[in-house]
Amino acid sequence: MRLHDGWWTVAAAAVAACAGLVACAWISTHIDVDPALHTAALFVHLASLVLGFGAVLVADYYGLLWMTRRCTLHEALGATSRLHLPIWAGLGGLIVSGVMLEPKLSSALTCVKLALVLLLTVNGLQAGLLNQRMAQHGPTALTPRLLAWGAGTALVSQICWWGAVVIGFHNSQH
């Protein structure tokens, strides 16, 4: 059984991701972080942001190249599937380091940020299925349904990543 076998495996992974994020939020309230560890975690947080969000932006750039006919669908899908590792590694680094940044879970904005992180995780899980369905389509033009699915996935991804960046930046100022 593989992650992108179908909607059931994606849904099971989404439930696991949700449980994992709740566990991380719980852990963050039960650990003691000294200032040196906080500073180190902030560095890891920013480095993971560069890795994960950077790779997301490259994937979306390939989507734009394909839309403007500067590369084939095959090339765009191949490049995107190779970006999964840095995207997931960056997201994992953001979550693990975020736990050590003493998030204030009583703040509504922090809860919105965590909801955005969950949404972008689930969106990323279903994006793997989309990538697979597009690859199975062959050289013929994509159906309107697959095009709308792709556009929706890219939009949700951008909104969630930028939203988490803006809230993270805002929280660090207060």
| Distance from the first to the final alpha carbon of the chain | 46
> Is 143 in contact with 133 (CB distance < 8 Å)?
no
Give 7 or 26: the residue with its C-beta nearer to ligand HEM: 26
Give 89 or 146: the residue with its C-beta nearer to ligand HEM: 89
Q: Helix, strand, or coil here: 117?
A: helix
Q: Helix, strand, or coil here: 109?
A: helix
Give 78 or 163: the residue with its C-beta nearer to ligand HEM: 163
72: how many CB neighbours lie within 10 A of its CB? Answer: 12
Binding site for ligand HEM (CB under 6 A): 24, 28, 42, 45, 49, 94-95, 98-99, 101-103, 117, 120, 161, 164-165, 168-169, 171-172
Closest distance to ligand HEM from the beta carbon of 17 (Å)? 11
Closest distance to ligand HEM from the beta carbon of 15 (Å)? 18
